Chains A and B, each alone.
Chain A
Amino acid sequence: MALARAPLRGLTQISRRFYSGAPSPAAKLNLPIDYKSTPILHHTPSSLSEISEFPAAATSKRLNFFQAINSALRTALSTSDKVLLFGEDVAFGGVFRCSMDLQSEFGSDRVFNTPLTEQGIAGFAIGAAAEGMKPVAEIQFADYVFPAFDQIVNEAAKFRYREGGTGINAGGLVIRMPCGAVGHGALYHSQSPESLFAHIPGLRVVIPRSPSQAKGLLLSSIFDHNDPVIFMEPKILYRAAVEHVPNEYYTIPLSKAEVIKPGKDITIISYGQPLYLCSAAISAIEKTMKGVNVELIDLRTIYPWDRQAVLESVRKTGRAIVVHESMINYGVGAEVASTIQEGAFLRLEAPVKRVAGWSTHTGLSYEQFILPDVARIYDAIKQTLEY
C-alpha cells in the first residue's frame, strides 16, 4: 500500500521498536519465549496421550489459545441449551477472536453483544445463573472488571450462603477475562487481579497455561461445578501458544494442581504465562548447575487451591519458589509461601522465595523491569539452592 506509506516519507526507517526496551543482544536468559519448542506445550499428538486427564484415543488438532477457548465454547454451546455467551463485542467474534462464528452457529438468543457495562454484564449473568442457565460472560479485559466487583464479590460469591435453605445458587456462572501483560499494555491492559478474587470465599479462580488446559478447564468450569468461576486467560498466549488439543469434550478438574516437570531439589509453583519463563530458567539452571533437578507445579486453580500437592512436593524437595506476574504485595505468593511454612516447616532448607511483579503499576516503558523474567527466576533458584 504505497499510498498509505506516503505520510512517513522523509523519516528514516528504523528497525522494529520495542516499547519496553529491546531484548539485550547479549542475552542468554531473557530471550523471547520460543513457543515452538517449549516443553510446556504438546507439540505432537503422542504427548497428549501420556496425560490421564485427556480422553483416551482422542483425535486432536493444533490450536492456539483463542482457538481452544473457541472450541470449548462451541462444545459447551452444543452440549447444553442452557449455555449462554455474551459480553462486549462478542457477536462479531470478540476483540480477541474467542467467540468467532459462534453467533452464526448458535443464534443471537444465546450468543450476543451486551451494552458497555461490566457491572451490568456480571449482574445479568448472576441472575441468569440463579434461574438455572449456564451463562459464560466475557469481560473484555481483566483491567475493566472492577465495575463488576460489587456484583462478583457481594453477590456471586455470597449467593449460595445467603440463600441457605432455599438452595438457590449462582452455580453455572463463568466470568471469562483476558489478563496479564503483553509488553505494551501499560496501566490498563496488563493487570492480573487473581489475588483480589482469590481473597473471596465462594469464587473459584482459574488460570490455564495452555490451549489444551484452557479447553478442559473451561468445560469443567461450565459443567462440572456449581460454583461461580472467574476464568482468567493470559492474553499473551492467545496467538503465541499453539499445541495439540483434543477435539472431543473433556474436562480437567478444578482445584487440582499438576506437576508438569518432576524434580527432587527444589519446587517452583506458578500458573499461567510465567510457567514458560520458569521452564526456560529451569533448563538454564539444570545446564549450569550439574545434577540439579527442579520440580515445576502449575496451580491451575488459584482458589480453592491444591494445598496438598504443593506440600507433598515441598516435603520432598525442601525448597520452594513461587512465581507470578501480578504484584508481590499480598499476592498469591504470600498465601502459598505461608501455607508451605506452616505445613512443611521442618523440611525447609531455605526460606520460600517469591518472584513476582514489583509493588507498582505496569508503566509502559518499564514493563520488562517490573514483571518477573527468566533472569530473576534463574537468580532465585540459584540463591535458594545455595542458601
Chain B
Amino acid sequence: MSIPSTRTLPLKLLAQNPGLLRRVAPVGTRWSSSISQRPGSDSVRFPGAVNSKFTTQMSFLKASDLPAIPTYRVMDSDGEMVDKTRPPTDVTDEEVLTWYRNMLTVSIMDVVMFEAQRQGRLSFYMVSAGEEGITVGSAAALTPDDVVFAQYREAGVFQQRGFTLKNFMDQLFANYNDTGKGRNMPVHYGQNYPRMHTISSPLATQIPQAAGAAYALKLQDLQNPTRAPRIVACYFGEGAASEGDFHAALNIAATRSCPVVFICRNNGYAISTPTLEQYRGDGIASRGVGYGIDTIRVDGNDVFAVHEAMKEARRVALDGGRPVLIEAMSYRVSHHSTSDDSFAYRARVEVEDWKRRDNPIIRLRKWLENQGLWNEDLERETRDELRKAVLKEFGEAERGKKPPLREAFADVYEDITEEAQEQMKELKRILETYPDEYDLRPYQDGVKGLD
C-alpha cells in the first residue's frame, strides 16, 4: 500500500490526531494501481487525462475552428412544427393552453407592475419579457417535489408552479402576507412547496447551492427508495455564468454526480454588458461540455423545445444521478430593471426588431391558432380577465399593512439574541419618547409590534 495522500486533510486535524492518516489510507491508493502508463501504449494514461492519444502533430485547439453547438427547436417562428412528420408535442392541448395562459399572466403582470413602479407605487420591479417560454416551458417538466433555485427573472417558473397572483402581489408590496415578511426587494419571491427558494440578489450564489441541494435530495431518495426521486432545477443568466460560483458549481456537481439541471437564460445582456464583452467561446453551453456535463442549447422562444429538453434533462439527471446544462437562447427585449434605461447602451431599433422578429408568446399563440385552439376573441377575453385579476390582487395587496416591527429583528438567528432584545427595547423607548417622529400606522400592531 502506498503512502496515502494527505493533501485533503487539514494539517491541524492531522497534528491533533495522527491516527487519521491510517484511517484514510485507502483513499490515498485510488490513483496508484488502476491508472498507469503501459509500455508502448499509443495514449496517455496520466491521472488527469486517461484516454488522450499521443500525437506528433502540434496543434492548438481553436474555439473558432469548432462548429457552434446547434440550437434545438421544434417549432418555427410561424408556430409551425419544423419536422411535420413527428407528433407536435407529447403534451395535451389542455396543458399547452395552461402554459399559454401562464405566459400571458406573467406578461400582463409585468406591464402593470412596471408602470406601477414608474408611478412610485412600489420601489422596484423586473420584467421577464421574452423569457416566458423558457421559464414556463421548463417548469412544466418538473414535479411538485422538485426543488428550484432561481435568479430574479423567473416569474414564469413561480406562476407555472402554483404561485398565485395574490402571492406575487403580497411579495411585491411587502405586506404582512408576504412569506419574506416584508424584508426583501420586490421580485424576490419564495415558496415552501412546491419548493422555490427565496430569491437572493447576489448573482450566481444559488448555483453551487443547487448542486449541494441536489446531492442532499439524491442521498435522501437513496435512503428512502419508496419516494419518487427528485431533481433540483437551477436558473441563472449568462452574466451570472462569469462568476466563480458558476464554475465551482458545475465542477462540483459533475464530480459528485448531482441530479441538478442548470438552466442558463442567455438573453444577450447583463445590464449593459453584451455577451461579446461577457465571454468568448461558444456560449455557456461550451462550458458545460468542458466540465463533463451533458449539455444542450435550445431556442428559448420555442416553449415546446424548452419543455422537451427539460423533460429529457430531468430523466438524464435521475439516470444514476448527474448534472445537465441547458442553455436557452433569447433576447432581453426589456430594460434590465426599473432602475435601468437600456437605450443608454443599445439602439431602440435593435430592441424593436427583436420584438417583431420573435417572441415566445406570439409563437405559441400562432401554434394554438393553427390547431384551432385559440382565436382573437379568446385572446381578448383572456387578456381582459387576467388584467382584471392582476388589478384586483394589486389593490388588495397594496392596502395590506406591513408586518409588525419585530420582524426587523426576528429570523437573524433561530432565536432573537439577548443583544437584539435589548436593541428592540431601546428602539421602543425611542418610538415612545419621540412619537411625533415616526409614523407607525402602516405597521401591524404599531409600537406594540416590538413586544
Contacts and interface: CB of A to CB of B under 8 A. Distances in A.
A and B pair up: yes
A116 B387 CA distance: 36
Contacts of A185: 185
Contacts, number: 185
A363 interface: yes
Interface string A328-370: 1100000000000000000000000000001111011110111
B201 A375 contact: no
Contacts of A22: 439, 442
Interface string B103-116: 00000100110011
A352 B184 CA distance: 34
Contacts of A11: 391, 394-395
Contacts of A14: 121, 398
A29 B273 contact: no
Given A89-B272, A117-B243, A360-B420, A7 B112 contact: yes
B270 A116 contact: yes
Most-contacted residue by chain B among A24, A116, A184 (CB, 10 A) = A116
B388 to A, nearest CB: 8
Contacts of A365: 174, 182-183, 402-403, 407-408, 443
A71 to B, nearest CB: 20
A11 B395 CA distance: 7
A149 to B, nearest CB: 12
Contacts of A21: 402, 438-440, 442-443
Contact of B243 (A17, A91, A92, A116): A116
Interface residues of A, number: 63
A113 B375 CA distance: 46
Nearest to B185: A186
Given A360-B408, A361-B183, A364-B182, A188 B201 contact: yes
Given A11-B395, A19-B122, A358-B423, A189 B433 contact: no
A314 B419 CA distance: 28
A324 interface: no
Contacts of B430: 375-376, 379
A147 B436 contact: no
B407 to A, nearest CB: 7
A89 B394 CA distance: 34
A56 interface: no
A143 B201 contact: yes
* Size band of the interface chain B makes with A: 35 or more
Interface stretch (B2-10, B46-54, B221-229, B339-347): B339-347
Interface in A90-141: 91-93, 95, 112-113, 115-120
B116 to A, nearest CB: 6
A369 B340 CA distance: 28
Nearest to B119: A8
B118 A4 contact: yes
B273 A89 contact: yes
B240 interface: yes
B437 interface: yes
B434 interface: yes
Nearest to A28: B436
A236 to B, nearest CB: 14
Nearest to B431: A369
Interface in B326-359: 339-340, 344-345
A88 interface: yes
B239 interface: yes
Contacts of A16: 120
B417 A359 contact: yes
A57 interface: no
Nearest to B439: A24
B123 interface: yes
A23 interface: yes
Interface string B381-409: 00000011001001100100011010111
B182 A117 contact: no
Contacts of A143: 201-202
Contacts of B420: 358-360
A147 B248 CA distance: 12
A188 B272 contact: no
Nearest to A361: B412
B72 interface: no
B412 A17 contact: no
B277 A360 contact: no
A359 B118 CA distance: 33
A336 to B, nearest CB: 19
B423 A92 contact: no
A51 interface: no
Contacts of B271: 88-89, 95
Contacts of B395: 11
Interface string B241-277: 0111100000000000000000000000011110001
B427 interface: yes
Given A147-B243, A358-B420, A364 B184 contact: yes
A24 B391 contact: no
Interface string A222-237: 0000000000000000
Contact of B436 (A26, A120, A188, A370): A26
A189 B185 CA distance: 9
B209 interface: no
B437 A30 contact: yes
A25 interface: yes
B124 interface: yes
A119 B174 CA distance: 33
18 contacts: A8-B115, A11-B394, A17-B122, A27-B438, A28-B437, A30-B437, A89-B271, A113-B272, A117-B244, A119-B243, A146-B202, A184-B123, A186-B183, A358-B423, A363-B183, A363-B184, A369-B438, A375-B438
Given A10-B388, A30-B434, A361-B183, 19 more contacts: A7-B115, A8-B115, A8-B391, A21-B438, A22-B442, A24-B439, A25-B439, A27-B438, A91-B345, A95-B340, A115-B242, A115-B278, A115-B279, A143-B202, A358-B427, A364-B185, A366-B182, A369-B408, A376-B430
Listed from nearest, the 9 A-B pairs whose CB atoms lie closest are: A188-B201, A366-B408, A184-B123, A365-B182, A363-B183, A115-B242, A26-B436, A92-B345, A24-B439
Interface of B: 108, 111-112, 115-116, 118-124, 174, 181-185, 188, 200-203, 239-240, 242-245, 270-273, 277-279, 339-340, 344-345, 387-388, 391, 394-395, 398, 402-403, 405, 407-409, 412, 417, 419-420, 423, 427, 430, 433-434, 436-440, 442-443
